[in-house]
Chain A
């Protein structure tokens, strides 16, 4: 099993640019979670999907953030336009219904200058 795959692992971009983070969940998992981790705020849940449908996006900080899950094996988190305060590590995690344990990807470290 390949685990949760995230790309890129590192992203450096300039303020105002569009950033797209990608995630491939574990095969057979039907829930997917996007988290953001910073020193100041810790680990925050941004949005999660179940069967490709967004269930709760209350953690998305503002309209500059959007997430999609076009199929069971792929999700994107987009920031447009990016700002320096978006610098963080973004994690994707997945699990199966009724199995609460989540499996995390290695994360994408985003730096916005």
Chain B
């Protein structure tokens, strides 16, 4: 069965510092992978997605993620964090369930940004 693990429940970084949020997945075939962001009191917003091709994908708000098949990982990165990036981040994998688009979400990582 597909699963997603985000090992870090909570991360604190200083504003301007680089960021990497970890995501590991379990999936038999080539996965469809996603990162979503949830700001306080808001719904989830898609940051970026990987379906195939270039393993380094660019998203909105200056985020990028790299798909590494050998490590079953899809880590999210940002070179310089802004205070507005404080939010909860979810990694997700597309489940093979008849193409209805079901996603399996990780437990989320809460990012705190220090001034």
Contact = CB atoms under 8 A, between A and B. Distances in A.
Interface string B91-111: 000100111111101011000
A70 interface: no
Contact of A31 (B43, B100, B108): B100
Contact of A91 (B44, B49, B94, B99): B44
A95 B101 contact: yes
A103 interface: yes
23 contacts: A31-B100, A31-B101, A33-B102, A43-B90, A45-B102, A48-B102, A56-B102, A91-B43, A91-B44, A93-B44, A97-B100, A97-B101, A98-B101, A100-B32, A100-B49, A100-B101, A100-B103, A102-B101, A103-B46, A104-B36, A104-B43, A106-B43, A107-B43
6 A-B pairs with least C-beta separation:
A100-B94, A104-B43, A95-B101, A104-B44, A50-B100, A100-B32
Contacts of A33: 102
A97 B42 CA distance: 25
Nearest to A48: B102
Interface residues of A, number: 25
Contacts of B108: 42-43
A99 interface: yes
A97 B102 CA distance: 10
Contacts of A99: 101
Contacts of B55: none
A51 to B, nearest CB: 9
